[in-house]
Structure 1
């Protein structure tokens, strides 16, 4: 029962105040056993979807949490999915309701309908092929948040000439934000940020090795970026994708509002004539 129906029930005398208080306090989350409280209102409250992090969870718990989330939100997104998690999800939901991205290690449970489109556009770039898993996680999250995503992979600084034509094509799609994933020295996000007029999110990836490996050098390099750059944590594809999608969706919403205002002004002018 949502807040409107609770208030209506109190007004009509069908619910007492104590029960109404309990109902209001439980709004926005659904409990599973004593281990999880699903934030079912997170998207409407913040614009960011809730995802199930499969890491450190038992496969059967992931299945039940996904079942509740799919029931409440029509879709369920699971990240960092291992083979045992995937097997359990396949058995529970079947392949027709399950979308598996092996690079991103994500699963989307759905009823066959696509995620609602917001009109936002997010670009996702990877420096190397080894950086694609983190980039793909960001792309999946942005897509689930309603954005069109444009992927450009393996255009790192070892062959920077590969970047320019791909970046030109990406800019023609008018992205609201761009995620750039890079490991090793993590230079590419800084370069991209100096070539575009939209927000760039640096996503350091743990593909480097030796001194400064595991993404540490990439992270520190991005934090010291000369060009304007926002940076997330190492391998934080979810955060990068969600942040980019929030920006892109706000831009799309503002553009839609502006278009409606212009149409209203034109109608008003025609009426005056």
Structure 2
């Protein structure tokens, strides 16, 4: 990355430093649908787990953003959400080596567009990569989607999740059970994280207001969207090999 590019990224970071404290729109714990469970279909994309976009090409390869630099553009329709988007990016750049910079001529970039909820692809897809953002998306919701775009999946789909949570299948909305299926992948040798910003909430996709995800450890809350947990930070820094950069 050139010095001018670095200066530009750092300049943008400084511009949004004070915006990082924008208050998030807290989702009540018993709310059955969050902004991350509203997106169903857009264009030719299939939505999985409420907010993960998958191209029709099932062979599409997920990858990380080169050098940890993510150019981004915000559509004019999202002007009311601009401060929240900057604050969400700041939540990540403050604790990792990932840099966000305004898109200019780069071929690969993150494109924030309006949608019926919050939704993102997982990992860098190539070209103008859409991240959907509705007025109901809080700072934390947007941060959650950006972390998807950086290459991180939902925490509750890890193959070791049954050691930490139980899924109440009988309380899940019809047709939504697939959102709770285990996926096998790279955990980066980090333990399961109930406090992760990437974890489902207790009532996600509930058909009757009953919990759909129950922790096996008493007194532990799940589904927070206010901060990156210690393990969230470690996971991103390992994925982007930040120890080799900082």
TM-score, normalised via structure 1 length: 0.29
Higher helix content, 1 or 2: 1
Q: Which has the larger radius of gyration?
A: 1
TM-score, normalised via structure 2 length: 0.31
Say which structure, 1 or 2, has more relative contact order (CA 8 Å, 6+ apart).
Answer: 2
